[in-house]
Chains A and B, each alone.
Chain A
Amino acid sequence: MKIHINGEPLNLENGASTEENGKVKDTTVADALQQYLSQKQQEMSFAVALNSDFVNKSQYANRLLKDGDSIDVLFPIHGG
């Protein structure tokens, strides 16, 4: 599956690698974040928008992605 994350194209490894009990597992926002963010970044505070709508953290593992989706990962900005 091809999506965009912070404007860059990203090929998501779905299909065989996420096959469970002979069934292809759906790809979620959490899967994309795991692939895109470093371990260190995943521990930082950030917000995620799927097609310009923010997604609650509790929904990362449930929100399904489809081909062509666009994800933005935003880190907080407080500087003045």
Chain B
Amino acid sequence: MSKTVKPHSSKPLSDDQLMRYSRHIMLPSMDIDGQEKLWNSKVLIIGVGGLGCAVAQYLACSGIGQLTLVDDDLVDKTNLQRQVLHAENNVGMNKCESAKQSLQQLNSEITINTTEHRLGWAELSAAVESHDVVVDCSDNLDTRNELNLCCFQSKTPLVSGAAIRMEGQVATYTMQQGQPCYQCLSTIFGGSGDQKLTCSESGVLSPVVGVIGSLQATETIKLLAGIGTVLSSRLLMFDASTMKFNEFKVAKNPNCQVCS
């Protein structure tokens, strides 16, 4: 990866952790070495809605050492249908705080940072710079574009996911030379871009965000541990109504305003 898991003080795993994460460590490509990388990693999760909840729960259980959650939104009753970390009695609470409560019950040994306001450019850049991987679980194009630019500038890998109705998509942007960025993809769609399709306006089938979020968590772990092949230059589409996955090649746009 472009930004090899940074030399944060590399802490070895305790005997208790070797047991706790043994089902990971048994995977030949992961081994103790891979799990130690996870334990010494920092992941930034933008948005703690449907996708963010799914991503965060798997990353927390997987033993990622530090998670930073960013969301200025409060838990609403209509979120409970799919945002699995927010409990009924947390309606009205900030989503980061609510998610943190659930995550610490799943894994008390990891560090969970929360940012309960919308990040301005400087703050966002600093946050992206100080993390190993960024997971985009946001719900609007402006945030997605801004995040992409930040990630490109600091060469921080971006795992992008989106979902609506009964479909979703995932792609990983490594930000390495010759690889496309999120803007390269969104440019292909062109047009006015005024189709503001949000889950609150169009609806979304609950487990679809779970499927997409789980795929994003998988990509994140692969990047951090340096295992497998990620969805770089590939857009994976999921259609729940036909239960089909489709893959499309995403080429770097030679005229991209961000990466070219």
Q: Are A76 and B199 in contact (CB under 8 A)?
A: no
Contact A7–B198 (Cβ < 8 Å): no
Q: Fill in one digit per residue for B76-118: 1 if any A CB lies within 8 Å of its CB, else 0.
A: 0000000000000000000000000000000000000000000
A77:B164 contact, CB within 8 angstroms: yes
**Given A46-B189, A74-B237, A80-B199: A54 touches B162 (CB 8 Å cut-off):** no
Q: Say yes or no: B190 contacts A79, CB within 8 Å.
A: no
User: Which of chain B's residues have a CB closer than 8 A to the CB of A23?
Assistant: none
Verify B169–A77 contact, CB threshold 8 A: yes
User: For residue B189, which residues in chain A have a CB less than 8 angstroms away from its CB?
Assistant: 45-47, 74-76
The binding surface of chain A is classed by DSSP as: loop
Report whether B162 and A78 are in contact in the complex, using a CB–CB cutoff of 8 Å. Answer: yes
Q: Please tell me if B150 contacts chain A, counting CB pairs below 8 Å.
A: no
Summed over the interface, the residue pairs from A and B with CB atoms below 8 Å come to a total of: 85
Can you list 19 A-B pairs, Cβ within 8 angstroms, ordered by A?
A45-B189, A45-B190, A45-B192, A46-B189, A47-B188, A52-B246, A53-B249, A54-B188, A54-B248, A54-B249, A72-B248, A77-B197, A78-B141, A78-B162, A78-B164, A78-B198, A79-B50, A80-B50, A80-B161
Which B residues form the contact surface with A (CB < 8 A)? 47, 49-52, 136-141, 144, 161-164, 167-169, 186, 188-195, 197-199, 202, 204, 209, 237, 242, 244, 246-251
A residues sitting closer than 8 Å to B (CB atoms) are 7, 43-47, 49, 52-54, 56-57, 72, 74-80
